[in-house]
Structure 1
Amino acid sequence: MSGWSTSDIPDQSGRTVVITGANSGLGAETAKALAAAGAEVILACRNAQKADVVAREIGSAATVARLDLADLDSVRAFADGLTGADVLINNAGVMAIPLGRTAQGFEMQMGTNHLGHFALTALVLPKITGRVVTLSSGMHQMGRIDLGDLNWDRRRYRRWRAYGDSKMANLMFGKELAVRLAAAGSATTSLIAHPGYAATELQGKSGTVEDVFMNASNKIFAQSAAAGALPSLYAATSPDATNGTFYGPTQMFGSRGAPGISGYNKRADDKAVRGGLWTTSEKLTDVGFPI
């Protein structure tokens, strides 16, 4: 897969792909590339106005649907309205933001990045015929799942640790979903991807002086959002992408370059924690998986 790019995406004619957070950054670039390859794309976004701009750029292959992952009522409404799709790409996320709470009281990063996508995947899984791709991050390395305080109700809030926790949860969820789908004999597969260091609107929202440095670093060191979308596109479309595998850039310690199999922190393979995260997530969201 050396040098894999958007020109290597197989023909996607007749396929439908749901992409969360496709109003900007990685999600928008993912939607554009898939539509260019022939797919119908559903831009599932909280900010429908921004998504409309992307949809107009794409053309008739794009549809906008409102989805606020920080509100499980919105997640259920979106799932009820989805008739079916070949691929679900769990792309949306927030990063290193001040302490906030979702509509159901979850810590905002865990609630949006993991719990919202967990509930969404469970609710739409019977309508997905091909793949579920969940985005994690290299920052999963700093994540440690605290099953006793997943939503930072008792711990002193640390925004970067909370982000790392949510990205570890994404990786664990994607891997656990793969195991359960395979055990059930399902034709649907679960894959995980990360963008490396890509310049997107995700950065610069911490509300601290760090934003100045992140914005400057984006301009100097980061690859483009289009390049950062390649691992997601590979996971979503390549016939060589396999169930349960984590994909990311292959150059400069996984920060940029063509997509390939990515290394990860082996804490993600802890079956007891993964199972506990799954059970806790089902309990918190009141959503069970039809597997």
Structure 2
Amino acid sequence: MSRWDTSNIPDQSGRTFIVTGANSGLGAAAVRALAGAGAQVILACRNMAKGERVAAEIGPRAQVRKLDLADLASVREFADSVDKADVLINNAGVMAVPQGRTADGFEMQVGTNHLGHFALTGLLLDKISDRVVTVSSGAHRTGKIDLEDLNWEHRKYQRWPAYGQAKLANLMFANELHRRLTAAGSPKISVAAHPGYASTELQSHTESILDTIMKYGNRLLAQSAEMGALPELFAATDNVEPGAYYGPDGWLGMHGYPARSSSSAASKDEEVASGLWELSEKLTGVTFSIGN
């Protein structure tokens, strides 16, 4: 594919998309583009005020609903509010934050980025007619899944390895969901995407000197949120390969237009992916109904 952008999004009239973290950054760019193509969009946001501002820009095709991925009670409440949708985009995330715990005691990064989305997808899957898109990151290559200590209860917390683990978990979840949907003969598909290096608010919550460093990095090196959102938009709307992984086509996958992306050997480890799935079910209390 060459230079696929929002002008290439097929007509989405009559379709409904749920996008997590749609109050800013990649998620806001995605819902604007989807609504511009005729879709109804549900902005699933922790920050309702910011979400309402984005929805006001879009108009009647947009609605905002509360979702805090760091709280399984909020995830369940949101899922209960949804009757049906065509596509779920698991876009929201936190990066390199100080050590913290979710409402359910999970390490904040794996709890928000992976376990929250795992639970949300499981609770919504019967209501999703077409596909699930999960946003990972090039940082998955630095990650290692520790099934004995997923939540950093026994290791000394390190923010970047924790982020790498969380983003690897996102990609492994997308891959495992694809395998399980395929095995069950389901017409639904699972696809993964990553934004490359995009300028968003993700880089401003480390509560350290890194916030300042990454602020300048965004200005000098990053592509726009609108460009960074293209891979997930392509994965969500175009004729994609089920189970594939899409990202920018430029240097080191940092910039450019959507294309197939490579991933680490660890992301393809089916035994670990199965173990992560089982552990995620145990931790969240959410099991998947797959087969229709």
Q: TM-score, normalised by structure 2?
A: 0.99
Aligned partners of 1:242, 1:103: CA distance in 2, in Å? 36
What is the 5 A alignment of 1:1-291?
1-239=1-239, 241-291=240-290
**What do residues 221-245 of structure 1 show as CA deviations (whole Å, max 9, x unaligned)?**
1000000000000000012x11100
SS in 2 for 1:213: helix
What amino acid is the match of 1:263?
S
For residues 22 and 205 of structure 1, what CA distance do their matches in structure 2 show? 17
Gaps of 5+ in 1: none
Q: Structure 1 CA distance, aligned partners of 2:43 and 2:164?
A: 26
Report Cα offsets for 1:25-80 as digits up to 9, x if no partner: 00000000000000000000011111000000000000001000000000001111
Displaced runs of 4+ in structure 1, greater than 3 A?
none
Distance 2:167 2:62 in 1: 28
1:252 Cα deviation (Å)?
Answer: 1.1
* Distance of 2:257 and 2:265 partners within structure 1: 23
The Cα shift of 1:270 comes to: 0.8
Cα drift, residue 271 of structure 1: 1.1
> Could you tell me which amino acid in structure 1 is paired with residue 270 of structure 2?
K
* 1:235-268 CA distance string (max 9 Å, x none): 00012x1110000001011001010000110111
Question: 1:260, 1:87 → 2: CA distance?
Answer: 20
CA distance in 1, matches of 2:246, 2:193: 5
Q: What amino acid is aligned across from residue 243 of structure 1 in structure 2?
A: P
SS of alignment partner, residue 19 of structure 1? strand
SS in 1 for 2:213: helix
Please give the secondary structure, in 2, of the residue aligned with 1:253.
Answer: helix
Q: Percent identity?
A: 61
Secondary structure at the aligned position of 1:182 is classed as helix
Q: Deviations over 1:97-117 (max 9, x none)?
A: 000100000000000000000
Give unpaired runs (5+ residues) of structure 2: none
CA distance in 2 between counterparts of 1:252 and 1:213 reads 21
The amino acid that maps onto 1:29 is A
Task: Give me the whole-angstrom Cα distance separating, in 1, the residues matched to 2:204 and 2:38.
Answer: 34
TM-score, normalisation: structure 1: 0.99
CA RMSD of aligned residues (A): 0.5
Give deviations 1:262-286, integer Å, cap 9, x for gaps. Answer: 0110111111100000000000001
Count of residue correspondences: 290
